[in-house]
Structure formats: C-alpha cells, structure tokens
C-alpha cells in the first residue's frame, strides 16, 4: 500500500482557526490574520469539542493511494463527502497479476498456495478472453476483489474526521484501517491542531458506538 499526500490547503490549521474566530469576532477578516498559534489552537479545540466542525471544511487534503485492493476502494468510496478519481478497469489493461493478500491468508501456507494459484488462473483466463475478442470492460468481470487499484481522493477535514472515527476503529477491516492510520499520520504532520483529537471514538470520546465489549480497545 502506497499513500501520499499530494496537496492540501495552505496553513490548514490557521485558515480553519480564522474561520472559527470570524464567527465570534467584530474584526474584519484581514485583521484576523494577526492571530497567533495559541489563539488558533484554543478556538479550534473549542469548536471541535462542541461539534461545530463545519469550520474545518475550509481545509482540503488530496491523497494518492495505490496498490490497494478493490475491496478497499469499494469501502473507501462509500464515504460520499469526498472526490474520487479511480484507475479504470475498462480502459487500463492489467498485464500482471497484482493483488492484495490478507495477513490471515499469508499466515496459512496451504491456503496461500491455493489463493495464489486461483488468482493466477483467473488472470490467465482474463488474458485469454481478451485474445478471443472479449472487450476489456467485460473480461474484467473475472478479476477478484483482491486486484490492485489506484485512486486519488480529496476530502475536507470534517469528512476526514468522520473517516478516521469510523475507519481507525478496530472493527473496521484491517486494510482500510491501515490506510486510515497512514492518512491520519500524513495530515497530522501538516494540520496538527485540527487532527489532534482524530481517531476512533473509543480513543477520542471514550465511547464505543458499536458497544463491542469484547474489543481490546473497549473504553474502561
């Protein structure tokens, strides 16, 4: 899995802090530019705690995500408050079998052998179909959920907070959880204030919306 932060709103903490301060200030927007880091932190901590997170929508982050399964991208695109561009299986001929193997399968030598064999066979059939004149857009129906995909996603900070809440949770699937933690690390480096309290509800709010009492992260 490769994840890169391609771009983001300049000074995301400051821009959103300014938006938050503006809502409670008599000053004109240009005067708010003089506020210091401490003020930004105070106001953002407050609005986020109160759930007034619309102000963080002013910061947008764009990621390039590659070598992830189609199973993952299918889960990812369920997050509707975002923009996506995904590699097309209708137009791009996938030449080599490139696919994700879940750790539970890697750990089981016999199952892993069968898994690799079946995927290789599916790929051979995918290529045979194309040689026999089946269009790429139809031949791809045989490709498994494990097939690698590349996708670019842009999400604002509010949507990312929701994404991290849901997908950093231990109950989320391992692959999208791995992605969520990689994305969280990248955005925390550039917007440490906005994302200081990002993550699953058990860590940020001490509650488990799923009430999974058997989970090792279940709040004490």
Ligand X SMILES: Cc1cc2nc3c(=O)[nH]c(=O)nc-3n(C[C@H](O)[C@H](O)[C@H](O)COP(=O)(O)OP(=O)(O)OC[C@H]3O[C@@H](n4cnc5c(N)ncnc54)[C@H](O)[C@@H]3O)c2cc1C
Residues noted as catalytic: 167
Regarding 78 and contact with ligand X (CB under 6 A), the answer is yes
| C-alpha–C-alpha distance, residues 129 and 106, integer Å | 29
Which of 2-10, 78-86, 88-96, 97-105 is the region at the interface with ligand X (rule: CB under 6 A)?
Answer: 78-86
Looking at the Cβ atoms of 26 and 211, the one nearer to ligand X is 211
| Shortest separation between residue 192's beta carbon and ligand X, angstroms | 23
Q: Considering the complex, state which of residue 79 and residue 182 has its C-beta at the smaller distance from ligand X.
A: 79
Q: Which residue is associated with the tokens 């408050």? A: 81
Chain-centroid distance of CA 132 in Å reads: 38
Residue 134 makes CB contacts below 8 A (sequence gap 6+) with none
Q: Are 2 and 181 in contact (CB under 8 A)?
A: no
The nearer residue to ligand X, 94 or 208, going by C-beta atoms, is 208
Q: Which window, 19-27, 28-36, 75-83, 185-193, contacts ligand X (CB under 6 A)? A: 75-83
Q: Which residue has the tokens 């990812």?
A: 76
Site string for ligand X, 145-174 (x = CB under 6 A): --------------x--x---xx---xx--
> In the bound complex, what is the minimum distance in angstroms from residue 173's beta carbon to ligand X?
7
Only segment of 31-39, 52-60, 74-82, 105-113 that touches ligand X (CB under 6 A): 74-82
Of 217, 214, 216, nearest in space to 199 by CA: 217
Distance CA 7, CA 30 (A): 25
CB 166 within 8 A of CB 34: no
| Closer Cβ to ligand X, 140 or 167, answer by number | 167
Asked whether position 80 contacts ligand X by CB under 6 A, the answer is: yes
Token pair 């959103």 is at which residue?
Answer: 16
């Amino acid at each position: 899995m490769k994840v890169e932060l391609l771009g983001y709103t300049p000074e995301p903490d400051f821009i959103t802090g300014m938006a938050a301060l503006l809502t409670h200030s008599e000053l004109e927007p240009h005067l708010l530019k003089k506020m210091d880091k401490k003020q930004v932190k105070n106001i953002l901590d407050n609005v986020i705690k109160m759930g007034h997170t619309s102000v963080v929508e002013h910061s947008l982050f764009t990621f390039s995500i590659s070598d992830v399964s189609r199973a993952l991208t299918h889960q990812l695109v369920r997050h509707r408050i975002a923009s996506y561009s995904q590699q097309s299986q209708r137009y791009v001929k996938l030449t080599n079998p490139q696919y994700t193997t879940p750790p539970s399968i890697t750990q089981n030598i016999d199952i892993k052998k069968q898994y690799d064999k079946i995927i290789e066979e599916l790929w051979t059939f995918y290529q045979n179909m194309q040689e026999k004149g089946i269009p790429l857009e139809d031949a791809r129906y045989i490709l498994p959920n494990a097939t690698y995909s590349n996708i670019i996603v842009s999400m604002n900070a509010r949507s990312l907070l929701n994404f991290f809440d849901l997908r950093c949770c231990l109950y989320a699937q391992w692959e999208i959880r791995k992605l969520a933690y990689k994305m969280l690390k990248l955005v925390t480096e550039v917007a440490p204030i906005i994302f200081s309290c990002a993550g699953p509800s058990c860590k940020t709010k001490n509650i488990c919306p799923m009430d999974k009492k058997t989970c090792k992260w279940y709040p004490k």
